[in-house]
Chains A and B, each alone.
Chain A
C-alpha cells in the first residue's frame, strides 16, 4: 500500500472515531432526555446522519464489519426518526451496545485483523426482535427461510417486490457471487442483466466474508419461475453458487420478526441513501455528502508536532546566539547597533514564545473525549449491578495534551468502576442509611497553573481502611506494628499496593487483579500523581494531578559531583537539607528519618559511580530531594539545588537503550545537555530489588 493510502486510511480511522464518539455522545443526551420524558427529534436526526456518514466512509474503505453494522443501525435510527419505532430504554441499550461494537470494529480495522465480530450478528438479531413495527400482511414470504439480516435491509420498494414476487408464485433463490473488488461495479450489473432473463434480482447484500482481501462476496436474492438447474446453467460459474431458498419446516409461518418499516424517501438535504453501493463501491456510487469533511478540522500526526517543537527549540538557540552577538556589538562600542539588535532579539523572543504556545495549543484536546466514554461505562455498569448512578460531569472542556488523553482512559475507567462497584452501596443499604437511592459520581476537571486536576468523587461508603490494613498485612506488605504506626492517610494509601482490594472476591467489573497500583503507575508514567480522600459513609474522592502537556515539563535542576541533572517536578515531593549526622544505616542501606518516617537514601553520585570532577570544591552541605512514585518514596542526595526550569525531554538514542535510571535528556540552552532522571526507575531499582541493586553497584565498582 502506498504512503498516500496509509494516510487516507489514518484519516478514515480518526474520522470514524469522531463519528462513533458523536454517536455515543448523542445517545447519552437521548438517554438523559428519555429519563426526563422529553423527546429530541432533532438529535435523533443528527444521530441518524452521523451513522449514515459512518456507513458511507466504512464502505469506501472496505471496513465491512462497520459498514454492515452502520447499515442496519441506520435503518433502526430511521425508524426511530420517523416515529415507527418508539425510543425505549431497551432500544437505547441496544444502541449503546452498538456504540461499543463500533469502537471494537474500529480497533479491529485499525489493527487490520480480519476476524469477524460475532457480537455484531448477535446484536443485529436483537434489533430485529426489538422492532415492533406493523406486521406485514401475510404474503407467503414468511414461508421462506430468509436470512433476517437480508430481510432487515430491504427497502420498502424491495419488500414490495419480494412480496409480489412470492404472491405471483415465483421461487426465491440465493445467488452467492464472489466479485473482484476492482471490477465489481461492472460485474454486478452484468449478472443482474443476465438474471433479468430469468427473473428479478430483488436485493443484494455483502455476506461479510471474503475469500481474499481483494475480493468481496455478495448474496443476490433472485425471484424466478425457472427451476434451479436452469438458473445454474445460465448464471453459474467459478465464482457463482446458486441455491434455492428452502421453505420453513412444516410450512407454517413461524412467528416471524416483522419486516422493518423503512421508508424510502429521505429528507431533502440528504441524497437517497447510497444503500449497498456504499458498502462495496471503490469508486463511484458513493454518497458525495458523506465524503465531505464533517468538521472544520485538520488532523495532524502528533509526531509532526514534536518535530515542529524541535525546530522551536533550535530557534531558541539561535535567539541566544543573537543575544550574545548584541552583547559583543555593545562591548565593541556599537551602541546604536546594539540597541537595535536587542530590540530585534526581544521581538524574536516574543514571537518564539507565541509559536511555542501555538504548537502546544494544537496538541490540546478536551477531556470530554474521555469523559464520554466513562459516561457510557457508568450507565452500563450501573444497570448491570442494579445500582442507580447519577453521573455529574464538570469541566469536560478542560484541555490536555493529546498523548495524555490517550493514556488516561484506562486508569480513569478503572477508578470509576471501583467507585460503582466498591464505593456506591446497594439500593437497600443506601435507603437504610437515609441516603438518596441514586448514587452520585462526580467527574470534575479543571486547570490549575501548569496542571490539570481530575477529581472522581462518589457519595458511597468510603474505603474501609481497617479491612485494607488487615489485607495489606495478610499479603505481607507490612507487619502489624508497621500498620499501627501508620496515620489515616497513609493507611488509605495502602490501596495502591499490589494485590490490594477490600473485597474478598473479585468480580467481573473491578478487582480483576488489575489494582489501583497499576492505576497509580500508569498515572505516574504520565507525570501525574494521585491523592485519595475517603470518609466512612460519606464517600471517596480521588484527585489526579497531571501536567498539561508532556512536551514541556517543569523540572528541578540539581548538581551532583559537578554534573547537572534534571528531575521532573511531578515526582518531587519536597527538598530539604541533609543532616549527615542523622543518616543511619539499616542492612547496609542508608536511611534518614523524615517526620517520623524512614526514608531510604540514594546517593546519586555513588549509584552512578561518578568520579569527582578535578578541582571541584568540597561540598559541605548536601540536600535530599524526596522523589515519590505512588506510595513509595526515595530520598535522592544531591550536592546542590539549582532551581526550577521548564524543559523539553528528548529520549536517549537506541544505543543507550540498556541504560536505566534516566527518562531522557534535555538541552539547557547553553548547548549543554543534562540527563533527566527517571525517579520511578530509581525508586524501583532502590526499593524493589535492594539486593540486586547492591550487587550491581558492586559490579560497577569492580
Chain B
C-alpha cells in the first residue's frame, strides 16, 4: 500500500477501515481479462440494439444506436484498447456512460460481470508496465480479494 494512502487511512479497528471510502466499479470482460470503469459514470446496461455505422468517424466508434429515443455513439472498447477484434456474442452488452462532455456514450464489451467495491488499499494507482496505448486509459489495477481487474478511465477512452 502506498505510503500516502496509509497516512490518510484512519488507523485503528477493522470497523473503521471498512468505513473508509470504498469506490464502486462495474467490471466487464474483454476476452479473458477483466476491466472496470467507475460505477458512478454508468447509467445503464443494454443489449446491443442494431448499430448503424458512421462513415468517416474514428475507428473506435462502431456506430450509433437509439436507446429509447436517445441517440448514442457506441465505442468498441476492444478497439480503444487496441485489442484483437472479436465478433459480438450472445453476452455482448453496451454500457451507457456519462462522458465528461455531458454526452451519453456507449461502451461495447464482451460481457458485463459484477459491481466490485474496492477499498483504497485494494487499488494500485500506477500502471507503468502496460503498452503505451493501454496505459493511457488505465488509472490503476484493482485487486479485490486476490483478483485482478484493470481500472479504465472513461474520459480518455471516449475523448480523443
Contact = CB atoms under 8 A, between A and B. Distances in A.
Given A310-B69, A665-B71, A655 B52 contact: no
A656 B54 contact: yes
A671 B101 contact: no
A563 B57 contact: no
A655 B101 contact: yes
Interface in B25-77: 49-50, 52-57, 61, 64-66, 68-73, 75
A655 B50 contact: no
B54 A675 contact: yes
B61 A673 contact: no
B103 A653 contact: yes
Contacts of B159: 655
B73 A652 contact: yes
A662 interface: yes
Contact of A314 (B49, B68, B71, B105): B68
Given A314-B69, A667-B69, A673-B64, A654 B101 contact: yes
Given A653-B71, A654-B101, A655-B101, A673 B53 contact: no
Nearest to B56: A659
Contacts of B103: 653-655
Contacts of A609: 55-56
Interface centre among B69, B72, B73, B103 (most CB of A within 10 A): B69
A248 interface: no
Most B Cβ at <10 Å: residue of A310, A311, A673? A673
A61 to B, nearest CB: 30
Interface string A445-484: 0000000000000000000000000000000000000000
Contacts of A665: 52, 64, 71
Contact of B57 (A313, A314, A659, A667): A659
A609 B158 CA distance: 23
A661 B55 contact: yes
Interface in B67-111: 68-73, 75, 99, 101-105
A673 B66 contact: yes
A33 interface: no
A610 interface: yes
Nearest to B55: A608
Contact of B69 (A313, A651, A675): A313
Interface string B149-160: 000000000110
A607 to B, nearest CB: 8
A659 B66 contact: no
A351 interface: no
Contacts of B55: 608-610, 659, 661, 675
Contacts of A35: none
A563 B50 CA distance: 12
Interface residues of B, number: 27
Nearest to B51: A673
Given A653-B73, A673-B66, A673-B71, A659 B53 contact: no
Contacts of B68: 314, 317
Interface in A606-628: 608-610
A436 to B, nearest CB: 56
Interface in A638-672: 650-656, 659-662, 664-665, 667, 671-672
Nearest to A307: B69
Contact of B158 (A310, A651, A655): A655
A608 B53 CA distance: 11
B54 A674 contact: no
A612 to B, nearest CB: 13
B64 A652 contact: yes
Nearest to B106: A653
A671 B49 contact: yes
B52 A667 contact: no
- Most chain A CB inside 10 Å of its own CB: which residue of B55, B66, B158: B55
Interface residues of A, number: 29
A685 to B, nearest CB: 11
A426 to B, nearest CB: 54
B45 to A, nearest CB: 17
A465 B102 CA distance: 52
A655 B54 contact: no
Contact of B61 (A314, A656, A660, A664): A656
A672 B101 CA distance: 26
Interface-central residue, B49, B61, B64, by most chain A CB under 10 Å: B64
A659 B54 contact: yes
B50 A673 contact: yes
Contacts of A563: 52-53
A188 B102 CA distance: 48
Contacts of A651: 71
Nearest to A696: B56
B21 to A, nearest CB: 30
Contacts of B71: 650-653, 664-665, 673
B119 to A, nearest CB: 33
Most chain B CB atoms below 10 A, which of A317, A608, A655, A659: A655
Nearest to B52: A673
A655 B61 contact: yes
Contacts of B57: 656, 659
A555 to B, nearest CB: 15
Contacts of A650: 71
Contacts of A673: 50, 52, 64-66, 71
Contacts of A653: 64, 71-73, 103-105
B131 to A, nearest CB: 23
A671 B67 CA distance: 9
A664 B73 CA distance: 12
A563 B63 CA distance: 12
Given A652-B64, A655-B103, A311 B69 contact: yes
A648 to B, nearest CB: 9
Contacts of A652: 54, 64, 71, 73
Nearest to A670: B50
Nearest to A611: B53
A653 B50 CA distance: 17
B69 A655 contact: no
A311 B69 CA distance: 7
Contacts of A664: 71
Nearest to A560: B55
Contact of B52 (A314, A660, A674): A674
Contacts of A313: 69
A650 B104 CA distance: 14
B54 A662 contact: yes
A609 B105 CA distance: 24
Given A652-B71, A653-B105, A654-B103, A660 B54 contact: no
B81 to A, nearest CB: 17
B114 to A, nearest CB: 28
| Leading 5 A-B pairs by shortest Cβ distance | A608-B55, A653-B73, A314-B69, A673-B52, A310-B69
12 contacts: A310-B70, A608-B55, A653-B64, A653-B103, A654-B101, A654-B103, A655-B101, A656-B61, A659-B56, A661-B55, A661-B56, A673-B65
